[in-house]
């Protein structure tokens, strides 16, 4: 029993250690305001991302959600041996989202979402200590998601969507070659 309790405590304690990396969870402005607990709520067309079946339960025939959230980030590296600290010059990230839904009948709805769940960048000084590992990185992913939903009853619906993702990565490193 002690082992089981120890494992459970370790798992719960590590929950805060998950890193999102380049994940940008800014899909839907109402969802951001609700701290992303909006999956069970009928908000607007941004439900395409969180709960595709919910668009069949929306009251409006048309629903749209558009969002843009600039990200201004920074990072710092400190060389413990030399006590030198270097700060990144990160470009402004530009995640966006657009969702639209249309109720075809009282029970059937269709929608489309275009959003960026991943994307950001970091740029370091040309002479920083880790320049041979990385000088700059830029990641961008755009997801396109057509969705259909069917309302089984006033409270239950199902939905399905296909996600097409396109993306690009630009990674720049210094080469350890002598000058001259």
Annotate 1-50 with DSSP letters as a single string.
Answer: -HHHHHHHHHHHHGGGG---TTB-----HHHHHTTT--TTS--STTHHHH
For residue 17, pLDDT over 50 is answered with no
Give me the mean pLDDT over the 36-44 stretch. 73
For residue 18, what pLDDT is reported? Answer: 47
Mean pLDDT of the chain: 82
Counting residues of the chain whose pLDDT is more than 90, the rounded percentage is 29
- Whether 170 shows a pLDDT value over 60: the answer reads yes
- Length of the chain, in residues: 180
- The total of other beta-carbon atoms located within 10 Å of residue 42's CB is 14
Q: Say if CB 128 and CB 76 are below 8 A apart.
A: no
**Top-confidence residue, 7 or 85:** 85
- Res. 16 pLDDT band, cuts 50 70 90: very low
The pLDDT, as a whole number, for residue 5 is: 67
Report pLDDT for 156: 92
How high is the pLDDT of residue 22? 63
Enter the pTM of the model.
Answer: 0.73
In the predicted structure, residue 39 carries a pLDDT above the cut 70: no
The backbone region for 28, taken as left when phi is positive above 0, alpha when psi lies in -120 to 50, beta otherwise, is left
Condensed to tens digits (0 to 9), the pLDDT of residues 99-111 reads 999 999 999 999 9
Mean pLDDT value across residues 48-62:
90
């Amino acid at each position: 029993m002690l082992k089981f309790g120890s494992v459970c405590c370790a798992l719960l304690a590590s929950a805060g250690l998950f890193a999102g990396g380049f994940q940008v969870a800014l899909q839907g402005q109402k969802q951001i305001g609700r701290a992303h607990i909006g999956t069970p709520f009928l908000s607007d067309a941004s439900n395409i991302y969180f709960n595709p079946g919910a668009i069949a339960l929306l009251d409006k025939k048309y629903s749209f959600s558009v969002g843009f959230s600039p990200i201004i980030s920074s990072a710092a590296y400190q060389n413990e041996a030399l006590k030198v600290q270097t700060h990144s010059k990160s470009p402004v990230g530009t995640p966006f989202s657009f969702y639209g839904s249309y109720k075809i009948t009282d029970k059937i709805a269709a929608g489309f979402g275009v959003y960026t769940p991943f994307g950001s960048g970091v740029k370091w000084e040309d002479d920083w200590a880790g320049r041979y590992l990385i000088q700059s990185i830029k990641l961008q992913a755009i997801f396109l998601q057509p969705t259909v939903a069917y309302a089984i009853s006033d409270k239950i619906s199902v939905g399905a969507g296909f996600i097409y993702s396109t993306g690009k990565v630009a990674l720049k490193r210094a080469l350890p070659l002598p000058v001259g």
